Amino acid sequence: MADLSVRAPLDAEGLVDALFKRVDFRKAGFDNVVVLPRDVADTDSYAFDHDVVIWHCGAPVQPDWNVKAWVWRFALSLTVVNRDPDISSSLCSFLHETISRWPYGEPTEFGRVGAIPDNPAFEQVAIGDVVTTKTAVVRSCTKLVQAGSVR
């Protein structure tokens, strides 16, 4: 009999990227959003003219032996950088609501989000870790995402 826990891990980056590609920021009133899968060298230059959303996935892990083998959990770290505190707050609220809806959406080719067991809101953080400009507003949060891989 095969051990069901011996399987390829969830492609968390592929899943989150596919879900972000579905988000219509313009329709929501955010015309200058750039979504980056990690902090890049020119984040500063993006932040001058855009509202930047940076995301990063932690390593997927199977929560415990009592859960089905295709269920994985991973941390999704999000950072929003821009120069307008009002837009920053609105964009963070929009992202929180959008990500909170992922468990109710259609699956992707990489799997589907089943739950977000830990879903904190964004908080303002020190800018020095992300950008060098002193006029930026930086908000961040880390959410715990539970997702099912493609069987």
* CA pair distance 7, 101, nearest whole angstrom: 28
110 has a pLDDT exceeding 50: yes
Whether this model's pTM surpasses 0.85: yes
The pLDDT tens digits of the residues spanning 35-89 come to 988 766 566 667 778 898 999 999 999 887 665 678 899 999 999 998 888 999 9
**61 three-state secondary structure:** strand
Find residue 81's DSSP bridge partners.
Answer: 52, 138
The pLDDT tens digits of the residues spanning 79-94 come to 999 888 899 999 999 9
CA–CA distance from 127 to each of 15, 54, 64, 79, 137 (Å)? 28, 13, 37, 10, 7
Q: What is the pLDDT of residue 93?
A: 97
Strand (E) or helix (H) holding 63: none
Side-chain half-sphere exposure of 133, counting CA atoms within 13 A: 15
127 has a pLDDT exceeding 70: no
